[in-house]
Amino acid sequence: MKPILETKTENYIYNLLPPRDVVRREMERYAARHDVPIIGPACGRLLYQLARLIRARRVFEMGSAIGYSTLWLAEAVGPQGEVFYTDGDPANARRAEKHFRRSGVRHRIRILVGDALGMLAKTGGQFDLIFNDVNKFQYPEVFRLAVPRIRVGGLFITDNVLWSGRAARPAASSDRDTRAVQKFNRLIYRSPMHGFAICEKIAK
């Protein structure tokens, strides 16, 4: 994907960020080498700050990959908090668990392997925050499933809603991902509910 920001602006933002710990840096390098989509440190810090602002204690993450964003959320919820990790790839889950143990937050995380939408349907109760980063064609269904599960004052945060600029252009009938993102964005902005945050990661 092409970055949203021009390179100099992007580099400036990343140069402002404080150094990450060893585990996060390793995860970033692994993601870059193996083309694993992660939200990156700028969006990770934003996710952490938003979770802290609403004092989130129960978080459901839809689409966790190697657990990079999960790690930010687990630190945000504190020792008594709980984050639900979901991914359809058992290898991703095993790798993520190793990162969680090394970072000392494994006890805060419930690891669920399978379809994130199905896992959310099977998990009872409401959540302070739901972070959506699943396959883009699933976004409209995520909206219908996730919004009723968020407590009053909570947040529904979704990655990639600009889809590297593609969401702003007419989508071909065969481009189900872009069409789904566009539909999702219309659902969000027509919704009478409050407390939505939309995150488009910088391509780093």
**SS3 annotation, 71-83:** HHHHHHHCCCCEE
Residues in a beta bridge with 158:
132, 198
The predicted pLDDT at position 203 comes to: 41
* pLDDT at 157 > cutoff 80: yes
Q: Which of 97, 38, 109 is nearest to 73 (CA)?
A: 109
Question: What domains appear along the chain, each with residue ranges and CATH number?
Answer: 7-199 (3.40.50.150)
Residues in the chain: 204
For residue 80, count other CB atoms closer than 10 A to its CB: 7
Question: 83: closest CA among 98, 72, 91?
Answer: 72
Q: Residue 130: name the closest of 75, 197, 80, 194 by CA.
A: 197
Q: How confident is the model at residue 151 (pLDDT cuts 50, 70, 90)?
A: very high
Question: Looking at the predicted structure, is the pLDDT value of residue 171 above 70?
Answer: yes
pLDDT in tens, 81-96: 999 999 999 999 999 9
Q: Is pLDDT larger for residue 190 or for residue 183? A: 183
